Structures are given as C-alpha cells and as structure tokens.
Structure 1
Amino acid sequence: METWDLYDDQRQLTGRLWNRDSTTPWPMEHFHLVAKIALFSGNGSLLIQQRTSTKSGWPNYWDLSAGGSVLAGETSWQGAERECYEELGLLLPQTPRQPQLTITSGQAYNDFYILQADFNQLSELTLQKTEVQQIRWATFEEVKQLVAVGCFIPYPAPLLSMLFEIGQNSNALWVFG
C-alpha cells in the first residue's frame, strides 16, 4: 500500500500521511507530490510509454516517459528516480535535482523533470510489465496527434508545447546515460 506525505497550500509538510487505498475522504485542504519525467533524445523526440490495460487511471493511454506519486519520506527527486527505475529500469543521476516546472493540479503538486537521455536504443530499458506495456520515441507532432485521437493523457496543449521546447533545448537539460 502506498503512503504519501500530505502538504499544505504552501507546499509545507503537514506531518500527516495518506494511504492511497484509504476509504476515508481526501482532506481537501491537502496536497501530495507527483514526479513526472520527460526524457528527450538528442534529436528532440520524447520517450513515451503506454500504460497497461490494468492501470486504474488512464489504462492503455500513452503518457510521458515515467512518473507517479512520491512516497512518504521521499523528496520529489527521489520519487522521480524510483519511478524511472521501476517503470523503465533506468537509473537517473544520483545528484538531487530541482524540477524545471511545477504545476498544481487537483490535489497534487506535479513536478516535471526534463532530461536528455544519452541513449537511443529502447532495448536498453526494462519495462515494468504491470504498469507499462510499450515505449517509443515520439515527435511533438506525433504526441499532438495521439492527444487529438484520445490515446494520450490529455495534458494541456501549452504544457506539452513547453515540455518539448525545453526538451529540445539541450542547454536547459541534464544529460545522462
């Protein structure tokens, strides 16, 4: 069972915890952390993943490279590292990073980490079969098309545009591989 730290509207820890499977109503004045990772290739394509049909949220939809809720006691970066390793078998740099972008949505602080991957061979990755059914590189146009036909999680168009703009600017990215 996943347990999350709860934060207030100023992103300060409250000292309270939340169990993901709880039947108690969500405390509306609280938030939790979500880490999202957008991995770009040297040619500006985004690594996208297709969620499995058994996922409770957005089954069979395409999504960013990796991501998920940050567990209690983790920093946002530690959550990003864990999710990337769990879902893709990929180790991120050990040096803690700050997200390039944070968006509050619903009851979550969504931290976006945008990195340039120094690999192009998808065969180097190990997918978590319970969460990810396939991965591929996609251009901005391909992602927009997937959104248009209802196959990609419907992130706001300006957000996707910003992710690609940052992801295609190698001076703004952390490179790893």
Structure 2
Amino acid sequence: MDEIIEIWDESGKPTGTTALKSEAHKNGWFHPTIHLWLYTHAGQVLLQKRAENKDTFPGLWDVSVAGHILNGETPLAGALRETREEIGLLLKANQLEFLGRFTSDQKHPGGIHDREFQYVYLAELPVPLEDLTGNPEEVAALELRSLLRLTEELWGMAAPAGYVPHSRTYYKAVFTALQSRV
C-alpha cells in the first residue's frame, strides 16, 4: 500500500513535507517507521515472515510488527495501528515500552533506497499464537522462536540468511532488552 508519510532530514527532524512512501523510497528520503518486538515470559519472541510480494526483504523473517508511520501520526499510534493491521492484535498504549530510535539506510533492488528512523518498542504477547491473524498482504507466517535460538543465530552476524538484516547495534539493544524481560 502506498501511504502518505512525513519526510525528515538526516538529523531526524520533520521537514514539513510529505510524500508517498514509494516516492520516499525512490528518492532516498528519510522517514519514520515503527518496530514492535513481542515476547513471552517463557523466553519466546514472535517473528513474522514477510510476504513474498513485499518490495523489501520478501520472504525473510523479521521483527514481530514493522511499518511506516503515517503523516500526522505519532510513533506510538503507528505501532498500535500496524499491530492491528498486520497481525490482528489490539494492544493499548500502556502495553508498549519504548526501547529507542535507530537509523537504517539500505538500498534494495528496483531502485529502492530506504532511509528510516525506526522507533522500536517491546511488549509482552498477551494472547496465544493461534489467536493472531497475519494479514496475507503483509505476512506469510507467524512463529514463536526461542530467544536463546535467535541470539545464537543472529548475535554478531546481524544478517544471516533468512532474516532481515539490521545493524549489530540494533540487534544488541533489542536482544539485551528482551533477555532482561524473559
């Protein structure tokens, strides 16, 4: 879906302009996004396998929920909306814990230059996996994986086959935070 998003400068400040997501990706304009990592106290993390039709990283395993913040939307509101849209889970604002903001700058096939300020949140998964419904336009599969397994697979590599690549700094912050909560 081609959404209208805010364009930000390289320091992470809104420029006062908006564009279609496709324009931002074509021109390499910075914009805000959200990432939500859902976990269980049993030491599991919810991952989503991206749909095969996605423009970026089709068919790879990724964060529980990710998406673009719409024009005029706060990061927290964007996280709640994307969670409802992608996996059918209704969360309340007080269930999300803000972890931090990370910068990502990646080039993809087809002329996509995705430059993001990622607002990353954590939340405990309040329902069983079978209660979630992945939006087929966004999500090919949902799976709970052991945090220990993920840490072993991703720690120090940051981009093994099968996973969306994120920086070492990003993965270290996320996995350290998750480990302290499970």
TM-score of the superposed pair, with normalisation by structure 1:
0.82
1:68 is matched with which residue?
67
Q: Percent identity over the alignment?
A: 26
Correspondence 1:146-165 to 2 at 5 A? 149-165=160-176
Determine whether 1:91 maps to 2:100.
Answer: no
The answer to whether 1:116 aligns with 2:127 is: no
Classify 1:48/1:25 alpha carbon distance in 2 versus 1 (closer, same or farther; 3 Å). Answer: closer
Give 1 or 2: higher strand fraction.
Answer: 2
Q: Could you say what secondary structure the match of 1:151 adopts? A: coil
Distance (whole Å) between structure 2 residues aligned to residue 97 and residue 154 of structure 1: 23
Please list the CA deviations of residues 57-87 of structure 1 after superposition, one character each: whole Å capped at 9, or x if unmatched.
1111000100111111111111111111111
Give, in whole Å, the separation in 1 of the partners of 2:176 and 2:95.
23
**1:22 alignment counterpart:** 23
Contact 1:116-1:167 within 8 A present in 2 as well:
no
Instruction: Give the aligned partner of residue 144 of structure 2.
Output: 137
Q: Which runs of 5+ in 1 are unaligned?
A: 172-177
Do the aligned partners of 1:5 and 1:15 also contact (CA within 8 Å) in 2? yes
Cα deviation digits, residues 93-146 of structure 1 (max 9, x gap): 134967311111223211110112233x21111110111011111123433537
Structure 1 residues 53 and 116: alpha-carbon distance in aligned structure 2, compared to 1, 3 A threshold: same
Q: How many residues end up aligned between the 2 structures?
A: 168
Residue 51 of structure 2 aligns with an amino acid whose one-letter code is T
C-alpha change, 1:132 and 1:43, in structure 2 (3 Å) is same
TM-score under structure 2 length normalisation: 0.80
What's the CA shift string for 1:7-65, capped at 9, x where partnerless? 22343322100112339952x6x521010000011122110010111111111100010
Change (3 A) 1:153 1:23: closer
Distance 1:42 1:23, change over 3 A: closer
CA contact (8 A) 1:34 1:67 kept: yes
Structure 2: gaps spanning 5 or more residues: 106-114
- 1:103, 1:109 within 8 Å by CA — same for their partners in 2? yes
Alignment-derived partner of residue 12 in structure 1 = 13
C-alpha contact (below 8 Å) 1:2/1:19 kept by paired residues = yes
* Contact 1:81 1:91 survives alignment (8 Å): yes
Counterparts in 2 of 1:11 and 1:155: CA distance versus 1, 3 Å: closer
Q: Which residue in 2 is equivalent to 1:174?
A: none
The letter of the residue matching 1:109 is F
* AA partner of residue 169 (structure 1): S
